[in-house]
Structure 1
């Protein structure tokens, strides 16, 4: 008998929000613990079901689970808010005891009774409950791409580099870090494979270093408070020959540039490459109200669109967490009311026009990926809990 492979349903593995992000067998349920809050929510919903008003406008009667599906995406098919996955699971905890173990081929049936909705398992065409390779049950089965009508999966390359490349310092700590002083043959710029020479206090036995340009301050767009120093990431370099000595006898450390986001130059600073952070976490709304502003767009862009990174003026001290889902708001325009003799200027209400996902948190700032947006995002734009 062929063993079915469980879907990884609820976590982001530091590189991906949703989707099957690895080849071969998918990750086991034990890697993704269910929090007490999620279990409590599911149990509460299981008693009564979800109000029909909370269902997505085009929620299907039945859906066949496919390889590559995730609970985030399936929640987007059935519910208005995809991050409310415990409620989808709670629709039927008798059959869905562990949300990490929903299998390809299982059929989810939406049952509506007295204004409430629950999920039940149906049967596939082979007659087995919740198994097999069924692709269609009835004319109302929807088995097209889950990205239709839901928040799309985030490709791995969009956020993985930022997990160790986006760095915010409380002080300009790189002032005392080792620095590149010259390139081979007096070159001004260094690319991948080029030789660089550096001076400073290197960490013993540390060979891999990140290269940063001079940090620039991040300020709150409203209060003008200094939130930290953002160090633009340049690339990486490996120590190939340690330096030593002092004064005129000092021999600079020799490095080889191994990766570049932009060309390396003299004066760039070096910091050890930290261990990869693949912490698992679940997409969720903040527990408390949030009201903040976009500090800047990562990089040199003035505006940002979908799949770009922005800096937020809220961090760990404000209760921000990895996995927080936030709403983006577009400031209302100021218009003149010409319907009265006063002809007053009035400001129209702010309009929600996008969704953010927080993936990296520092003390006073956070980095977030724009999941969806209707208009360009600029510094000063507002965000709140969804």
Structure 2
């Protein structure tokens, strides 16, 4: 018995070591020169099987204390320190024809900011009842029902002169698989600044994403709406799996670089930069009276009943890996994520789990 326990502990420790070991991609380069338009994720994908783990590839390297400060022209070289792969950087120095040192281009980001910028600003998920208490758009100086940049709109509230507000329209109501209310999606239609304060205040629209109409609500622009895209990816660690709640674009199936809502937020411990593995639940196969396996779509009513009441007649197949997702914006009960790796189409209700927990099977 002692030997069995010892063997089990050894295997367990080995699995932890394996999960914490970087796996280099077959055919990886020995070095790479950073190009304009690269992202940290893109560069790591040349070297790692799991590119989201680039902080570990660079984190222990004193030459890349801050991997966000890597610039086009820098040369990255793969080395091994204590048996672990690491990248070292040789900075590129731009010089003019006269030999003067010139400023570098901007440091490369973790992901392409253009992919998430609209959602950092435009989308929010808030409590439905709270949203209905926010100041309402009554109309505008223009006789048109639809208001755009340059128009002045009337707000049913006394607002502070000079403050910046966004006008939001109501979107979808989100509900969890258990029926719990997760909030309402609200979408920014325009932003503007208060130009006159009173019982009915005036806001001049300075930008618009779509037309603003009477009945919309206004809210202060979020302080973190222009948050940095220099996310530090790390494995999400939740007490229970999350799931894909909705596609931002109302798609039935989603793929790489699509934006999705998930059903966990800051109240569940989700943070920007959290990475999840995406899985589809494996099928429940029923063994019929003839001893033959039957998939769900081929079951009779009786076989469906058997699968729900008896585990001896139902065998669950392994979950199916779909890809990886990184969270970039977090609300109270929900979050928004970008699908970074996509091996199969992703759908609503697909399961989101801690990547390292299933690293071996991936």
Q: TM-score normalised to the size of structure 2?
A: 0.69
Q: 1:290 to 1:63 in 2, by over 3 A?
A: farther
Q: 1:186 to 1:86 in 2, by over 3 A?
A: closer
Q: Does residue 253 of structure 2 align to residue 298 of structure 1?
A: no
1:66-145 correspondence runs (5 A):
66-68=34-36, 71-89=40-58, 93=61, 96=63, 98=65, 100=67, 104-106=73-75, 108-110=77-79, 116=83, 118-119=85-86, 130=90
Query: What corresponds to 2:307 in structure 1?
Result: none
Residues 155-186 of structure 1 show CA distances to partners (whole Å, capped at 9, x for unaligned) of: 32221232242222235222222211123453
Structure 1: distance between partners of 2:85 and 2:345: 38
Q: 1:364 to 1:107 in 2, by over 3 A?
A: closer
Shift in Å at residue 236 of structure 1?
A: 1.4
Mapped contact 1:326–1:356 kept (Cα < 8 A): yes
Q: 2:194 aligns with which of 229, 239, 253?
A: 239
Residues 93-115 of structure 1 show CA distances to partners (whole Å, capped at 9, x for unaligned) of: 4x7473547674545145699xx
What secondary structure does 1:258 align onto? strand
Mapped contact 1:172–1:215 kept (Cα < 8 A): no
Query: What corresponds to 1:357 in structure 2?
Result: 326
Q: 1:218 aligns with which of 162, 174, 181?
A: 174
Q: TM-score normalised to the size of structure 1?
A: 0.65
Aligned residues: 298
Of the structure 1 ranges 375-384 and 81-90, higher mean CA displacement relative to structure 2 is found in 81-90
What secondary structure does 1:200 align onto? coil
Structure 2: distance between partners of 1:239 and 1:167: 22
Structure 2: distance between partners of 1:191 and 1:97: 46
Q: Which runs of 5+ in 1 are unaligned?
A: 1-44, 122-128, 134-151, 245-251
Query: What corresponds to 1:275 in structure 2?
Result: 223
Mapped contact 2:168–2:188 kept (Cα < 8 A): yes
Residues 44-66 of structure 1 show CA distances to partners (whole Å, capped at 9, x for unaligned) of: x9xxxx96x82212223x21332
Query: What corresponds to 2:100 in structure 1?
Result: none
Query: What corresponds to 2:144 in structure 1?
Result: 187
Structure 1: distance between partners of 2:75 and 2:331: 41
1:136-155 correspondence runs (5 A):
154-155=111-112
Give the number of the structure whose residues are more often helix, by fraction: 2
Shift in Å at residue 238 of structure 1?
A: 2.8
Query: What corresponds to 1:378 in structure 2?
Result: 347
Shift in Å at residue 261 of structure 1?
A: 2.3
RMSD of Structure 2 on Structure 1 (CA): 3.6
Structure 2: distance between partners of 1:236 and 1:302: 31
Mapped contact 2:59–2:65 kept (Cα < 8 A): no
Query: What corresponds to 2:267 in structure 1?
Result: 317
Q: Which runs of 5+ in 2 are unaligned?
A: 1-16, 94-108, 297-315, 356-362
Mapped contact 1:206–1:272 kept (Cα < 8 A): no
Q: 1:157 to 1:288 in 2, by over 3 A?
A: same
Shift in Å at residue 357 of structure 1?
A: 0.9
Structure 1: distance between partners of 2:235 and 2:318: 23
Query: What corresponds to 2:27 in structure 1?
Result: 58
Q: 1:55 to 1:338 in 2, by over 3 A?
A: farther
Mapped contact 2:231–2:328 kept (Cα < 8 A): no
Shift in Å at residue 338 of structure 1?
A: 9.3
1:39-50 correspondence runs (5 A):
none
Q: 1:290 to 1:56 in 2, by over 3 A?
A: farther
Shift in Å at residue 67 of structure 1?
A: 4.6
Q: 1:266 aligns with which of 214, 234, 237?
A: 214
Mapped contact 1:289–1:385 kept (Cα < 8 A): no
1:204-215 correspondence runs (5 A):
204-214=160-170
Q: 1:342 to 1:362 in 2, by over 3 A?
A: same
